[in-house]
Structure 1
Amino acid sequence: QQLATVTFTGETTAGWQTATFDQPVAITPDTEYIAAYRTPTGTYSYTQGGFSSGFTSGPLRTTGGSGAYSYSNDFPGSSSNASYLVDVVFN
């Protein structure tokens, strides 16, 4: 179930881009969530092997192969061990 979307505006070709939801998205502990982005050109910034093994950062964790690079009905599909450089900011 999709919880929120945001459309980038005013982005540039270099540097980190940030998009902020209009309202906070409530999450529940011990629940799996997916943060993803999609570009109109299909070009992505990524780190090959970034998800070759899982890692934990504070209360967040990921599993190996949790990157995705194709979409079906706007949802990430095929798995990959690349990390696609999407950061989630929590308050």
Structure 2
Amino acid sequence: MNQEDNDRRAVELGVKFRSDTDGFVAGVRFWKGPRNTGIHTGDLWSLSGTRLASAVFTNESASGWQEVRFAQPVPVKAGVTYVASYHTPTGLYAQDAGAFAAAGVDSAPLHALRDGLDGPNGVYAYGTAGTFPTKSWRSSNNWVDVVFTTTP
């Protein structure tokens, strides 16, 4: 994992995913390097760009996986594509180029989609928090994940 891309712009970074089963997304996780500072916000989106939930990360460690829970778990349907993302105001985020080019990442019942399934993956959008990420750069894994459960 490249723990720190040299990009220093505010950006929303995301991953497109599907589940094999109906369930609930309780929150969002992301990998943080030591210079990825500031207030981070986690979001869950429909594929069309409707924000389904949002929460601000608190009590972050200096580096490693960070996790935030939504006020209420969000129901998700099997086989439907969603986007989980987080916003960093400082950039310097973890990223691995090419990760979604030929294959997705499978950890049943969840699947981070390979490029070409519902468009590109490893999505991003520069700007303020809450901007729906639609662009992709080299099919990059931005090290964003969801907290998934089958019960609320």
Task: Please give the TM-score of this superposition, normalised by the length of structure 2.
Answer: 0.53
Compute the displacement of 1:33 (Å): 0.3
Runs of 4+ more than 4 Å apart: none
Which residue number in structure 1 is paired with residue 37 of structure 2?
Answer: none
Tell me if the contact between 1:71 and 1:77 (Cα under 8 Å) persists in the aligned partners: no
Gaps in structure 2 of 5+ consecutive residues: 1-49
Equivalent residue for 2:144, pick from 62, 69, 86:
86
Per-residue CA distance 1:5-58 (angstroms, 9 max, x = gap)? 110112132121111112111011221100111111133111222212232332
After TM superposition, list the pairs within 5 Å mapping 1:19-58 onto structure 2: 19-55=68-104, 56-58=106-108
State the aligned residue count: 91
Identity, % of aligned pairs? 40
Distance 1:82 1:8 in 2: 23
Which residue number in structure 2 is paired with residue 74 of structure 1?
Answer: 131
Higher normalized contact order (CA 8 Å, seq sep 6+, divided by chain length): 2
After superposition, the CA RMSD in angstroms is 1.9
Distance 1:60 1:16 in 2: 18
Distance 1:70 1:13 in 2: 24
Distance 1:30 1:75 in 2: 21
Which residue number in structure 2 is paired with residue 18 of structure 1?
Answer: 67
Whichever structure has more strand as a proportion of its residues is 2
